[in-house]
Amino acid sequence: MGAYLLRRLLVALPSLLGISLVLFTVLALAPGDPFEELATNPNVPPEVRLRLREQLGLDDPIWQRYLHWLGSMLRGDWGFSFVSRIDVDTLILQRLPVTVAVIGASQLLALLVAVPVGVLAAVRPYSWFDRIASTVAFIGFSLPTFFTGVLFILLFSIHLGWLPFVYRTDITATGWQWWWEQIRQSIMPVTVLGLFQAASWMRYVRSAVLDVIRLDYVTTARSKGLGEQVVVLKHVVRNALIPVVTLVALQMPAVFGGAIVTEQIFRIPGIGSLLIDAILRNDTPVIMAVTFVFSCLVIFFNILADILYGWLDPRISYR
Tell me how many domains the chain contains: 2
**The whole model's pTM is what?**
0.77
Domain containing 68: what range? 35-77
Alpha helices in the chain (DSSP H): 2-29, 36-39, 46-56, 62-74, 88-123, 128-142, 145-152, 176-213, 216-223, 228-230, 238-266, 271-280, 284-312
In this structure, are 117 and 260 located in the same domain?
yes
DSSP three-state, residue 159: helix
In this structure, are 112 and 46 located in the same domain?
no
In this structure, are 133 and 66 located in the same domain?
no
DSSP three-state, residue 319: coil
CATH classification at residue 274: 1.10.3720.10
Q: Kindly give the confidence (pLDDT) of every residue in the chain, 319 residues in length, as a single tens digit, with 9 standing for 90 and above.
A: 677 777 777 878 888 888 888 888 888 777 766 666 555 556 666 666 667 666 666 667 788 888 888 888 888 788 778 777 788 888 888 888 888 888 888 888 988 999 899 988 888 888 898 899 989 988 888 888 888 888 888 888 888 888 887 777 677 767 787 788 788 888 888 888 888 888 888 888 888 888 888 878 777 877 877 777 788 877 788 778 777 777 777 777 777 776 778 888 888 888 878 888 888 877 888 888 888 888 887 788 777 777 777 666 666 666 6
Last residue of a domain, one of 77, 103, 137: 77
Last residue of a domain, one of 45, 77, 109: 77
